[in-house]
Amino acid sequence: MRRVQASMPAREVQLARSVFREVNERIRALAERWGDVEERDFLCECGRRDCREAVSLTVDEYDIVRAEGAGRFLVAARHAAERAENVIVRNGRFCVVQPRSKS
């Protein structure tokens, strides 16, 4: 389910983000199956074409990112686009961001 709004990031960025999120969901599923409690490398979901940044999170931390549904993204600490996104969580390793909609 995807709502299209004029304020959404460029289509290309959106597509990249959804692909990276899908990969992260699989990383999470594997971590759970293997009972990992250590941090694992997830992918930055900033959607920039050249971004290959890994972000270390525990499964519990990852679940916090996803707790509010599909509107939030996991990005590397320096990859938050603060002009267009609200930063919900920020620490030394990662940020959780929510794209702002213009109204």
- Residue ranges binding Zn ion (CB under 5 A): 44, 46, 51, 53, 76, 79
Strand order of the sheet with strand 73-76? 73-76, 94-99, 85-90
User: What size, in residues, is the chain?
Assistant: 103
Q: From the CB of 19, what's the least distance to Zn ion, in Å?
A: 13
Find residue 56's DSSP bridge partners: 41
Of 53 and 85, nearer to Zn ion (C-beta) is 53
Q: From the CB of 7, what's the least distance to Zn ion, in Å?
A: 21
Residue 74's Cα: distance from chain center in Å?
2
Q: From the CB of 13, what's the least distance to Zn ion, in Å?
A: 11
The CA distance from 67 to 80, in Å, is 19
